[in-house]
Amino acid sequence: MDPNLVQFKKGVLELCVLALLSRSDSYGYDIASRLSDAIDMGEGTIYPLMRRMQKDELVSTYLVESSSGPPRKYYRLTDSGRRSLDVQKSAWNDFTHSVAAILDGQEKTR
Protein backbone atom coordinates (compact mmCIF):
# COMPACT_ATOMS: atom_id res chain seq x y z
CA MET A 1 0.00 0.00 0.00
CA ASP A 2 1.07 3.57 -0.65
CA PRO A 3 2.96 4.77 2.44
CA ASN A 4 1.06 8.09 2.31
CA LEU A 5 -2.19 6.24 2.57
CA VAL A 6 -0.92 4.24 5.54
CA GLN A 7 -0.05 7.52 7.27
CA PHE A 8 -3.52 8.94 6.59
CA LYS A 9 -5.24 5.91 8.03
CA LYS A 10 -2.97 5.76 11.03
CA GLY A 11 -3.73 9.40 11.76
CA VAL A 12 -7.50 9.02 11.77
CA LEU A 13 -7.72 5.66 13.46
CA GLU A 14 -8.00 7.12 16.93
CA LEU A 15 -10.66 9.58 15.75
CA CYS A 16 -12.63 6.71 14.20
CA VAL A 17 -12.48 4.68 17.40
CA LEU A 18 -13.62 7.68 19.45
CA ALA A 19 -16.52 8.24 17.05
CA LEU A 20 -17.58 4.58 17.15
CA LEU A 21 -17.50 4.54 20.93
CA SER A 22 -19.45 7.81 21.20
CA ARG A 23 -22.43 6.04 19.64
CA SER A 24 -22.28 2.96 21.85
CA ASP A 25 -19.89 1.07 24.07
CA SER A 26 -18.19 -1.77 22.26
CA TYR A 27 -15.70 -4.62 22.61
CA GLY A 28 -12.39 -5.16 20.87
CA TYR A 29 -13.43 -7.57 18.17
CA ASP A 30 -16.39 -5.41 17.17
CA ILE A 31 -14.31 -2.24 16.92
CA ALA A 32 -11.53 -4.03 15.06
CA SER A 33 -13.75 -5.73 12.51
CA ARG A 34 -15.86 -2.63 11.82
CA LEU A 35 -12.82 -0.45 11.26
CA SER A 36 -11.10 -3.14 9.27
CA ASP A 37 -14.13 -3.29 6.95
CA ALA A 38 -14.51 0.48 6.76
CA ILE A 39 -10.93 1.65 6.29
CA ASP A 40 -9.00 -1.56 5.71
CA MET A 41 -6.75 -1.47 8.76
CA GLY A 42 -5.13 -4.62 10.08
CA GLU A 43 -7.36 -5.83 12.89
CA GLY A 44 -4.47 -6.45 15.23
CA THR A 45 -3.43 -2.81 15.37
CA ILE A 46 -6.57 -1.83 17.25
CA TYR A 47 -5.33 -3.41 20.46
CA PRO A 48 -2.13 -1.41 20.90
CA LEU A 49 -4.23 1.69 20.18
CA MET A 50 -6.88 0.70 22.74
CA ARG A 51 -4.18 0.15 25.36
CA ARG A 52 -2.73 3.57 24.71
CA MET A 53 -6.15 5.23 24.76
CA GLN A 54 -6.94 3.50 28.03
CA LYS A 55 -3.69 4.74 29.59
CA ASP A 56 -4.40 8.24 28.27
CA GLU A 57 -7.78 7.89 29.97
CA LEU A 58 -9.76 8.49 26.81
CA VAL A 59 -11.58 5.19 27.33
CA SER A 60 -12.35 3.00 30.33
CA THR A 61 -13.20 -0.69 30.35
CA TYR A 62 -15.68 -2.95 32.06
CA LEU A 63 -16.48 -6.64 31.78
CA VAL A 64 -19.77 -8.06 30.57
CA GLU A 65 -20.70 -11.70 31.08
CA SER A 66 -21.25 -13.45 27.79
CA SER A 67 -23.39 -16.48 27.15
CA SER A 68 -20.52 -18.30 25.52
CA GLY A 69 -16.99 -18.26 26.86
CA PRO A 70 -15.27 -15.77 29.16
CA PRO A 71 -16.67 -12.26 29.94
CA ARG A 72 -16.14 -9.63 27.30
CA LYS A 73 -14.11 -6.47 27.82
CA TYR A 74 -16.14 -3.43 26.76
CA TYR A 75 -14.72 0.01 26.10
CA ARG A 76 -16.54 3.20 27.06
CA LEU A 77 -15.63 6.82 26.33
CA THR A 78 -14.56 8.85 29.33
CA ASP A 79 -15.37 12.55 29.65
CA SER A 80 -11.95 13.48 28.39
CA GLY A 81 -12.41 11.01 25.54
CA ARG A 82 -15.59 12.82 24.60
CA ARG A 83 -13.82 16.17 24.71
CA SER A 84 -10.99 14.78 22.63
CA LEU A 85 -13.52 13.56 20.06
CA ASP A 86 -15.10 17.02 19.80
CA VAL A 87 -11.75 18.72 19.34
CA GLN A 88 -10.42 16.18 16.84
CA LYS A 89 -13.66 16.06 14.93
CA SER A 90 -13.89 19.78 14.33
CA ALA A 91 -10.19 19.92 13.46
CA TRP A 92 -10.70 17.07 11.02
CA ASN A 93 -13.72 18.71 9.40
CA ASP A 94 -11.94 22.04 8.97
CA PHE A 95 -8.93 20.29 7.56
CA THR A 96 -10.78 18.09 5.09
CA HIS A 97 -12.86 21.05 3.86
CA SER A 98 -9.72 23.04 3.22
CA VAL A 99 -8.06 20.14 1.45
CA ALA A 100 -11.17 19.49 -0.63
CA ALA A 101 -11.28 23.16 -1.61
CA ILE A 102 -7.68 23.03 -2.74
CA LEU A 103 -8.22 19.83 -4.68
CA ASP A 104 -11.18 21.45 -6.44
CA GLY A 105 -9.14 24.54 -7.19
CA GLN A 106 -11.34 26.88 -5.17
CA GLU A 107 -9.15 27.69 -2.22
CA LYS A 108 -9.91 30.91 -0.41
CA THR A 109 -7.41 33.65 -1.18
CA ARG A 110 -6.16 35.34 1.93
Partner 1 sequence: MNDRQLFLRRLAAGLKGMPKSSIADIMADYDAHFEAGNAAGRSEADVATALGDPGRLARELRAEVGLRRWEDERSMAAALGVMVGVLGLAALDLFIVLPLLVGVVAALFSFFIVGVGMCLGGGVALPFALIAHFPGFAGDHLQAALLSLGFLSGGASVAAFCALFTIGLINLLARYGRTHYRLITARPSI
Stretch that binds partner 1, among 21-29, 83-91, 97-105 (CB under 8 A): 21-29
Nearer to partner 1, 12 or 89 (CB): 12
Q: Which of 4, 23, 55, 105 binds partner 1 (CB under 8 A)?
A: 55
CA distances to 11, 49, 85, 95 from 78, in Å: 21, 16, 10, 25
Enumerate the H helices of 24-78 as residue ranges.
28-39, 46-55
Stretch that binds partner 1, among 31-39, 76-84, 87-95, 97-105 (CB under 8 A): 31-39
Nearer to partner 1, 13 or 22 (CB): 13
Q: Is 108 exposed, middle or buried (0-12, 13-18, 19+ CB in 10 A)?
A: exposed
The three-state secondary structure class of 67 is coil
Binding site for partner 1 (CB under 8 A): 1, 3, 5-6, 9-10, 13, 27-30, 32-33, 36, 40-45, 47-52, 55, 68-70, 72-73
